[in-house]
Structure 1
Amino acid sequence: MIPRYSLPEMSGLWTDEAKYASWVHVEVLACEAQARLGKVTDADLATIRTGRVPTPEEVQEQERTRDHEILAFLAAYTATLPDDAARWVHYGMTSYDLVDTALGHTLARSCDVLLAAAVRLRTALAAKATEHWDTVCVARTHGIHAEPTTFGQKMAGFALGVDRSVRRLRAARTAVAVGTISGPVGTYARIDPFVESYVCDALGLGVEPVPTQVVARDRHAELLSAVAVLGAVIEQIALELRLLQRTEVREVEEPRSSAYQGSSAMPHKRNPTSSERLCGLARILRANLGAVLEDVALWHERDLAHSSVERIALPDSLIAAHYQATGAAEVIEGLRVFPDRMRANLEQTDGLIHSSTVMLDLVAAGTEREKAYRTVQDAATETWETGRHLRETLRERGIETRPEQYDPERFLRSRAVIRERMETLLDVEN
């Protein structure tokens, strides 16, 4: 991922330096296990532990004569060790015993970083929902004014969407936090299963229960599916904020720094660029999911078609998702909300948003439903065309309505029930 959309706590896990450090860690742990089995002496193990993590440049230099990154890494790493100790490095292992076990550890740590950002976003949304639980605004369906709701309920719905994504990510973390050290085709032909158990336990990983040569790639697809869904949920939030920031609506405004400049040509512009950026990143996450789904089906016990894809898609998706979730949390935490503007928009359609309650009041008073609907619809059409209040166009049709029939609170009598649901779900340890 390009630096513009990278934050160090996530991108730092995916550098070549971090990868080779992780590979060294796995190799040392494997040697520790072999020492417990009596194959490696304590003296050789102590020497192996002193080995230096090779630099990316050193690995690249070795790869020029090997055309194989893992062999190049092993050559660069063991070059710092005496031969008697170096011979035990990678003993009985195949390349992807090293790569996939280290990858499982990196993916698990990446999930933890992303989960922290998603939880921060969930917390920000819940706080905004509580703050504005009674801030009345108009709900829109098909982009058209519908009935009153509250801004708090909008935010609560988003909070629970992020909460579901947190749950999906936690399940996906379990799926990818696995390793395998089982030999060339997963039969443990030249390595004791104890080595695998020891290494994976030390790294906090499970083991692939029925190994081939690699960890099953449906695990990675599950993770990127959860990541893409989180991205889509954030996109839904950001799209709502973009729509509410339009000039003719202007019910909210995303936070801006003192350095903000919206347009190179028009000084007045206050564009929703942060929200737009969040929407754009969701597209990358969805696209990468498609590529990783293609990696699930490999030839027989393994081919190499997945490697080039996941070298790009896994780090790019996790880095972009972390940036997106962090950015979304910052937007919600600093969001400006304009209740007066919400109230003005609520009244913009001259009582039309109360048409459903007026109709039901007629039905409750004894009018046949279809007649009540048509009567109110005809009056509403005239209100749309003339701009006269709905109660006036109804009066012309012989229907007298009372002021309380145009009170938004009639729509919101049950909002305490919804708030209780939100608080119950978000208070659960999750």
Structure 2
Amino acid sequence: MATNNDTYTSPLVERNAGPEMIRLFSPQTKFSTWRRLWLELARAQQKLGLAITDEQLDEMAAHLEDIDFSAAAEFEKQFRHDVMAHVHTFGRAAPKAAPIIHLGATSCYVGDNADLLLLRQGMRILAGKLACLIDRLATFAGQWRDLPTLGFTHYQPAQLTTVGKRACLWCQEFTLDLAELEHRIETLPFRGVKGTTGTQASFLALFDGDADKVEKLDAMVAEAFGFSRRCTVTGQTYPRKLDTMAVNTLALIAQSAHKMCNDIRLLANLKEIEEPFETSQIGSSAMAYKRNPMRCERATALSRLVLSLATSPAMTAAEQWLERTLDDSANRRVVLPEAFLATDGILRILINVASGLVVYPQVIAAHVAAELPFMATENILMAAVQQGADRQEAHELIRQHSQAAAHAVKAEGLPN
């Protein structure tokens, strides 16, 4: 029998994502959400006049969480169909309701609507962590707003900025990401009750061609799950472009994280700023003196993973044929959870880093002093022009003298 140590498990679960996100994409959450979808469909159908009893609804409601996964696995071996396996598993737990479970529905009624519910909740989890990160960076920026430091363009010393101002650059990017994430949460539509090809034909048959009742059914189920928007038109699935939009939004977070962490890694090499480093932490198994920025390195690694995953939903959306093709399924089962788990891990790391960044003002001051004569040249240029000099001629003179001074510093090791 396999044990935990001889079976592959995702490092995203073991090492990176938080408990809330891990639970969100668990089989328990997925399939209990399917059962809630079946229950709300039946409740709405009863209210609109179908012959569904309170006893059947109560029985369904009593068995939303107690899923017999072994039975579902056996049914899936028999049927080669995961949705029907869970229809029968639910029916076994609620036998009086078994005849009306999944009535009029297609597999995408539970599969797609559940995915949209998970995407929305996943984005809400990330939004909370993103807001926390923004708060920590804002606190750090306020604390160090007045400490002058070298700016860098092309990773060469440039005009002065402050440690706090630089942190505002990071903070601003995450603020843009949060706005986009909140927009996605607000505008995400529900697939709803659309039938096998989006025509609602099965539900029209159930309600004897009463289109008003079918429209009400769609609206009632969407409302039960807190969606104010519904897909106006679908094939069998919701537009896979919605997956692209969601994962692209996570990729925005990954871009911002990668930029911030790269900056911290560069500054750590200069010994100006470091991520937290615990008392007993080991930087290298060989070089005992090292303080490697492993948190930021891990966040950049995960960020590249998210950026690479973001290409997959776009290709899946482009590949869909006519009303539906199943070559999306195996891909989405991997890409969507992994993108959310990885982004959750990124934000957990960054909150930790931003909460404990270490600043070395004396090192920063020494670097400023070493470059200060060069920093003064822009002010000298402005002063020269104010005194009547030709801007271009003054620029050339300053350039020649600056390059000569830089050569002395670099080639001869002289002070600036």
The answer to whether the superposition gives a TM-score over 0.5 is yes
2:189 touches 2:231 (CA, 8 Å); kept in 1?
Answer: no
Residue 275 (1) aligns with residue 288 (2): no
8 Å Cα contact 2:251-2:306 kept in structure 1:
yes
Per-residue deviation, residues 62-118 of structure 1 (Å, max 9, x unmatched): 111111111111111111222x42111100000001111111111111111000111
Are residue 149 (structure 1) and residue 161 (structure 2) matched?
Answer: yes
1:266 corresponds to: 287
Q: What is the aligned length? A: 388
More deviation, 94-103/340-349: 340-349
2:276 paired residue number: 255
Match of 1:399 in 2: none
Give the equivalent residue in structure 2 for 1:227: 250
Partner Cα separation in structure 2 for residue 79 and residue 387 of structure 1: 82
**Structure 1 residues 30-429: aligned runs within 5 Å:** 30-39=41-50, 40-51=52-63, 53-82=66-95, 84-191=96-203, 192-205=214-227, 206-246=229-269, 249-297=270-318, 298-349=320-371, 351-387=373-409
Q: How far apart, CA to CA, are the structure 1 residues paired with 2:63 and 2:150?
A: 65
Q: Is 344-353 or 125-134 further displaced after alignment?
A: 344-353
Divergent runs of 4+, >4 A: none
1:181 match: secondary structure:
coil
> Which amino acid is 1:68 matched to?
H
Show CA shifts across 1:256-289 (max 9, x none). Answer: 2233101011110100111111111111111111
**Cα deviation 1:292-339 (Å, max 9, x = unaligned):** 111213101111111111111111001110110121111011101112
Residue in structure 1 matched with residue 6 of structure 2 by the alignment: none
Letter in 1 for 2:238: V
| CA root-mean-square deviation | 1.8
CA distance in 2 between counterparts of 1:358 and 1:55 reads 78
Q: Deviations over 1:193-228 (max 9, x none)?
A: 333222211111232111221111111101111100
Secondary structure in 1 matching 2:310: helix
Contact 2:119-2:246 within 8 A present in 1 as well? no
Find the residue that maps to 1:138 and give its secondary structure.
strand
Q: Give the distance between the partners of 1:359 and 1:178, measured in 2 at CA.
A: 61
For residues 375-420 of structure 1, what are the alpha-carbon distances to aligned partners after superposition, in whole Å with 9 as ceiling and x for unaligned? Answer: 11111112112249xxxx99xxxxxxxxxxxxxxxxxxxxxxxxxx
Q: Which moved more, 1:39-48 or 1:12-21?
A: 39-48
Q: Is the 8 A contact 2:134 2:171 kept in 1?
A: yes
CA distance in 1, matches of 2:171, 2:189: 27
Which one-letter code corresponds to 1:73 in the other structure?
H
Closer/same/farther in 2, CA of residues 177 and 325 from structure 1, 3 Å limit: farther
What is aligned with 1:5? 16
Structure 1 residue ranges without an equivalent (≥5): 395-430
Q: Distance in 1 between matches of 2:264 and 2:236?
A: 47
Distance 1:291 1:110 in 2: 19
- The residue type equivalent to 2:111 in the other structure is V
What amino acid does structure 2 have at the position aligned with 1:311? Answer: R
Structure 2 SS opposite 1:348 = helix
Structure 2: gaps of 5 or more residues: 1-9, 204-213
Change (3 A) 1:177 1:269: farther
Q: CA offset at residue 176 of structure 1?
A: 3.4
Once residues 256 and 287 of structure 1 are traced to their aligned partners in structure 2, the CA distance between those partners, rounded to angstroms, is: 30
Question: How much has 1:350 moved relative to structure 2?
Answer: 5.3
TM-score, normalised on structure 2? 0.90
Which residue of the other structure, out of 26, 29, 34, is the alignment partner of 1:23? 34
SS of alignment partner, residue 185 of structure 1: coil
Distance of 1:319 and 1:179 partners within structure 2: 24
Q: Paired residue for 1:413?
A: none
Q: AA paired with 2:255?
A: A
> What amino acid sits opposite 1:135 in the alignment?
L
| Distance in 2 of aligned mates of 1:104 and 1:151 | 41
In the alignment, the residues of structure 1 paired with residue 409 and residue 58 of structure 2 have an alpha-carbon distance, to the nearest angstrom, of 86
Matched residue, 2:207: none
| Secondary structure class of the residue paired with 1:296 | helix
What amino acid sits opposite 2:82 in the alignment? Answer: E
Partner secondary structure for residue 261 of structure 1:
coil
AA aligned to 2:358 is: R
C-alpha separation between the residues in 2 aligned to 1:316 and 1:64?
Answer: 26
